Amino acid sequence: MSRLRQVVGTLILASICIPVFLLHRFALRLDVWLYPSLRDVAISKPLFIVGLPRSGTTLLHRLMATQSGVFTTMPLWELLLAPAVCEKHMLRRLRNADRRLGSPLWRLYQAVERRLVGSFENVHATTLFSPEEDYLSLLPFGGCFLDVIRAPRSERVWKLGHFCERLQRSQQIALLDVYTGVLKRHLFFRGQHLRLLSKNPSFTSWIPVLTEAFPDACIVGLRRVPHESVPSQLSSLQSGMNWFGNDVTDADIVARFVELLAAYWRMLEEFKCTLQPERFQLITYERLISDSESVVRELMEQFGYEVTAAGLLSLQRQCSVQKRYSSRHRYRLETFGLHPDQLDRSFGLHSKSRCQAPASPGRPETLSC
């Protein structure tokens, strides 16, 4: 039965996605002809938020996005519906026409959104206008690790997860070129004076190529103790995997995720040791949750980004909302056959750090040496 569900789910998904993906790929090529100045767009001093999934990356992303006079970040509608500039302009014209007719399409969207958001509220509440992971822009090119939900036993998918360790260099360069092109289109549409703000836990494995491709990039890494982050991540994938007939509690799938997230942990440790503090900061989930405003302000100062008066007011309002938020997402480590000591060994927490970590604005965890 699970095999049948996987086949049916894949066919349904393919019938929707393949036409959309082909349209996006055509539109991206069309952009090159319609907007020749795209090649001259500079991606200057971007900020990448990486780290373990379920470690506060979404929260920090949305808090940093309050600095709208400094940063620009991709909302979900751009990623799924309009990665190309010509598509963005088309949807903007459609929205303007809808307004002139009294916004019937907008009201329909809001009604659908209210119903759908409730389904994901406990795990990852989002809307088409929420800042989202621009890694989704790689879906039409088969370069997004999200496909693990559909095919958790695919070696191709796991190579994407271990991007710099297992993917061939030619494939890395090809996906990086696609990603860079999408970023340039976003800046071309939103304003080239703005700094690109990106959040992708999967990009933790991309750090070496990101620092190479964007020499002035700043990176924030977030992490959370494994016995909380690992089961939270597995639990968040449960409904999606079930839809495709996959069991996230399967020992092999659990082991692969533990291996992947442990590799993320080591990658963060490595770059905390090798990158200068004005380019890389490592923040704990506990610190972010307890003192969000200070974390954001200190990161902005450390990386040399300006905090405007309007941005500060928006940040304070968002932090006030965050303090009243209480997640209803519940999970247990035992559900996945895991034990805290086992995870500590997998993540190397019983060994000492090989470097003296530089001081961090977010008061990240102190590593013994």
Q: Where are the alpha helices (DSSP H) in 206-250?
A: 207-213, 226-236, 238-243
Q: Cβ–Cβ contacts within 10 Å for residue 278, how many?
A: 11
49 near 61, Cβ under 8 Å? yes
What average pLDDT does this structure show over 264-271?
Answer: 95
pLDDT tens digit sequence for 88-118: 999 999 989 989 999 898 888 877 766 665 5
Confidence (pLDDT) at 256: 97
Q: Are 197 and 72 in contact (CB under 8 A)?
A: yes
**Comparison of pLDDT for 119 and 185, the residue scoring more:** 185
Q: What is the pLDDT of residue 356?
A: 53
| Beta bridge pairs of residue 195 | 71
Token representation of residue 56: 């506060």
Q: How confident is the model at residue 359 (pLDDT cuts 50, 70, 90)?
A: very low
Rounded CA separation 59/47 (Å) = 15
**Residue 353 to residue 340: CA distance in whole angstroms:** 20
Q: What is the mean pLDDT of residues 286-301?
A: 95
Instruction: Give the Cα separation of 258 and 255 in Å (integer).
Output: 5
pLDDT of residue 287: 95
pTM: 0.89
Q: Diameter of the chain by CA atoms? A: 65
Mean pLDDT of the region 162-186: 96
- In 3-state terms the chain splits into helix, strand, coil percentages (rounded to 5) of 65, 5, 30
Burial class (CB in 10 A: 0-12, 13-18, 19+), 233: buried
Rounded to the nearest integer, the mean pLDDT of the chain is 89
What order do you get walking across the sheet with 218-223 strand by strand? Answer: 71-72, 195-199, 47-51, 218-223, 280-284
CA 259/CA 336 separation, integer angstroms: 14
Percentage of residues in the chain having pLDDT higher than 70: 89
Lowest mean pLDDT among 204-218, 277-291, 325-339: 325-339
What percent of the chain clears pLDDT 90, i.e. is strictly above it?
74
- Give the pair of three-digit tokens for residue 264: 């993320």
* pLDDT band of 131, cuts 50, 70, 90: confident
Predicted local distance difference test score (pLDDT) of residue 332 = 86
pLDDT tens digit sequence for 62-71:
999 999 999 9
